[in-house]
């Protein structure tokens, strides 16, 4: 977003100066007083255009809001508009590379799809990794809060201690909650925003418990202690499920990689035999269909072996 505004500002100033220079050369002898009017008019038009672009850019779509939330969860300091530009740049680069290697427009179009999806896959991986780190550090954060509450500190003071002592990503997330409270947001609203921002079932359970305790009262330290126990039991159960489904996930990877490995082996033994798939139009279509089918099969196996706890 900042890059686009900078480029547009530079172009506006350049065109304004160019227009002023041409007007000076044309009307220097005939209308000496008209230059001031031309300068002010051109600058005003350029300013109006820049304001129009800025106002239009301030209204993100639902897709951009969803993408911005994913970037926030993944901890990537990039705006949604900049990430979309990166996607299209990757798509163009991938299409160019595929076209240079194979010289086929159909495969280049397929390269555009791959290049556009690669940043999304990378973002999804970063998001899952950060959520996993957050869930792993959440029991320690709650234990620290329990100790602070039993020592006589308030809820806000407990969060401040967590922000000082914890590590990423717990530290950054708690700092966002405290910053929202400094700007006038209530503790309840800040916790609800935190729950909406970070898709974690353990965090959702924690926030709901705190909100209920603040409404009806009770021993918050005891309640949080039970939440820590529940969270650790859930983590233990998830690890057991991953161990039991490891064979199925490995089978999905092997089945998906087997055609690629077999094709490479045939290429080493008889290159002319396998190259027919890439030089013949029908073969190219079959390769594309095979790749799409392999990707779909891989994700289906992953979906089957993924069990929600």
Higher pLDDT, 300 or 36: 300
For residue range 22-59, list pLDDT tens digits in order: 455 455 444 444 444 455 665 566 556 655 554 455 55
CA 65 to chain centre: 11
Class of 130-238 per CATH? mainly alpha
Q: Where on the phi/psi map is residue 167: left (φ > 0), alpha (ψ -120 to 50), or beta?
A: beta
Average pLDDT over residues 49-78: 72
* Burial readout 95-109 (b: 16 or more C-beta within 10 A, e: otherwise): beebeeebebeebbe
Nearest to 221 by CA among 160, 283, 149, 276: 149
DSSP letter (8 states) at residue 28: T
- What are the sequence ranges of the domains in the chain? 2-59, 130-238, 245-309
Q: CA-to-CA distance for 142 and 51, rounded, in angstroms?
A: 47
Q: Is the N-terminal amide bond of 284 cis, ω within 30° of 0?
A: no
For residue range 175-207, list pLDDT tens digits in order: 999 999 999 889 899 999 999 888 888 899 899
- Structure confidence at residue 125 (pLDDT): 92
Say what percent of the chain tops pLDDT 90. 17
Return the biggest CA–CA distance within the chain. 89
- Structure confidence at residue 18 (pLDDT): 46
DSSP letter (8 states) at residue 280: S
Q: According to DSSP H, which parts of the chain are helical?
A: 2-27, 34-57, 62-74, 80-102, 105-150, 155-165, 170-182, 187-197, 201-216, 220-244, 246-269, 271-279, 281-305
**Given the structure tokens 């490479």, which residue do they identify?**
264
For residue range 216-273, list pLDDT tens digits in order: 888 888 989 998 998 888 888 888 888 888 888 888 888 888 888 888 898 888 888 8
Backbone φ and ψ for 305, nearest 5 degrees, come out as -85, 0
């Amino acid at each position: 977003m900042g890059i686009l505004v900078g480029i547009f500002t530079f172009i506006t100033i350049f065109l304004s100066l160019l227009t002023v220079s041409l007007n000076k050369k044309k009307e220097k002898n005939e209308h000496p007083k008209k230059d001031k009017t031309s300068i002010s008019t051109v600058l005003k038009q350029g300013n109006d255009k820049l304001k129009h672009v800025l106002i239009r850019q301030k209204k993100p779509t639902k897709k951009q809001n969803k993408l911005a939330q994913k970037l926030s969860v993944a901890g990537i300091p990039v705006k949604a508009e900049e990430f979309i530009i990166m996607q299209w740049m990757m798509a163009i680069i991938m299409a160019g590379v595929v076209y240079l290697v194979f010289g086929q427009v159909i495969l280049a179009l397929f390269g555009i799809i791959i290049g556009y999806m690669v940043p999304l896959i990378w973002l999804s991986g970063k998001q899952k990794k950060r959520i996993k780190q957050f869930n792993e550090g959440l029991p320690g954060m709650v234990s620290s809060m329990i100790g602070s509450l039993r020592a006589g500190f308030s809820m806000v003071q407990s969060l401040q201690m967590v922000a000082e002592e914890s590590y990423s990503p717990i530290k950054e997330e708690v700092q966002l909650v405290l910053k929202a409270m400094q700007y006038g947001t209530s503790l309840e609203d800040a916790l609800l925003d935190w729950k909406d921002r970070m898709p974690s079932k353990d965090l959702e359970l924690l926030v709901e418990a705190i909100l209920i305790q603040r409404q009806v009262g009770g021993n918050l330290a005891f309640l949080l202690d039970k939440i820590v126990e529940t969270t650790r039991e859930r983590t233990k159960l998830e690890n057991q499920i991953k161990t039991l489904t490891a064979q199925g996930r490995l089978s999905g990877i092997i089945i998906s990689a087997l055609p690629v490995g077999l094709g490479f082996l045939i290429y080493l033994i008889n290159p002319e035999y396998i190259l027919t798939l890439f030089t013949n139009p029908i073969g190219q279509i079959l390769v594309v269909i095979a790749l799409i089918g392999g990707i779909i099969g891989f994700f289906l196996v992953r979906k089957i072996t993924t069990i929600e706890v």
